[in-house]
Amino acid sequence: MTEPQDRPRQPPGGERDAPPHPPTTPQEFNQLIIEEFRARGGRVGGMFEGAPLVLLTTLGAKTGKRRTNPTAYTRDGERLLVFASNAGGPTHPGWYFNLLADNRVTVEIGTREGGVDTFSARAEPLQGEERDHQFALQAARDPGFAAYQAGTGRTIPVIALYPLSLTDPARNRAIGEELVRVHAQLRAELAALRATPSSSSSFDEGLLLHCLSFCESLSMHHTAEDGAFSAFDAQFPELAPVLERLRAEHRAVSAALTKLRLDPPATADALRQELERLATDLDDHFTYEEKHLLPALNGR
């Protein structure tokens, strides 16, 4: 199956109306696919009807920001396989370089029940005969991949995605340390945002832009956490009430951030009030999360 970012630039979605502003870049086209995938329980219409797609969120190797990309996949036992075909282009797609720099990825995949399951995974490129065997199987399933390989001088990578397991105490402690680090970073970003001087205009456009940038970082962090919670479900069933609350709070924050993007406050004062509410809610959320998850991760 052709990689979504390299398809002709037309909106997916089956019978739905075309957006008022058709996408003009591969990034905008990908964003349409991502939004439809999440809104329709992992399904995408139009040219992708029935195609096996997942969303991969990786950490940008250069920017340090989380990036989400749709791509084709196949199952291989407990793991998933994805293919860095880039539609047979001369270079690997950007997400492949991201996972080489940091092999922690978040995967979103449609379920039989019509929902989207999110889980964290470890990415490992396949090597040698194993790579060749798995790519040959994919090319037999979809001859487009054989055409991609024939049209490029590079070897198209095959990447295995292994769902996160919390059975290794050393790895668990590292996850806990990363959780504390990211929370500290988000707290600092929010404090700096709240301390930003106001402009002289009646509405502070600069403050709104900085706020939306922070909101993107926060949303990506929560997406990654939702992925990790699947592993917590399996390893720490006693934390079920805690995880239920955290997921609910993630949904509430997501709704608030969506409202802020689509319907920002009319005045700078109102925007600052929203920031203060967000700061209070997030501090409570982070504190609760650390209080209950860190002891489990540290074996206490």
The mean pLDDT value of the chain amounts to 86
Q: What is the pLDDT of residue 259?
A: 86
Q: What is the pLDDT of residue 148?
A: 94
Q: Fold for domain 4-163?
A: Pnp Oxidase; Chain A (2.30.110)
- Is 267 in contact with 202 (CB distance < 8 Å)? yes
More confident residue, 261 or 163: 163
Average pLDDT rounded to a whole number, residues 12-22: 40
Q: What tokens does 110 get? A: 């449609």
Average pLDDT rounded to a whole number, residues 293-299: 94
Give the Cβ contact number of residue 145 at 10 Å: 25
- Is 186 in contact with 217 (CB distance < 8 Å)? yes
Count, in order, helices (H) and strands (E) of the chain: 8, 6
Residue 20's pLDDT band (cuts 50, 70, 90): very low
Task: Report pTM.
Answer: 0.73
Question: Bridge-partner residues for 116, per DSSP?
Answer: 110
Res. 175: pLDDT tops 70: yes
Give residue 36's Cα distance to chain centre.
14
pLDDT tens-place string over residues 86-139: 989 999 999 999 999 999 899 999 988 888 888 999 999 999 999 999 999 999
Residue 17 sits at the vertex; the CA angle it makes with 15 and 20, to the nearest 5 degrees, is: 160
- Is 256 in contact with 262 (CB distance < 8 Å)? no
- Identify the weakest region by mean pLDDT among 97-106, 136-145, 208-217: 208-217
Q: What is the pLDDT of residue 240?
A: 96
Average pLDDT rounded to a whole number, residues 185-214: 80
Q: Is 62 helix (H, G, I), strand (E, B) or coil?
A: coil
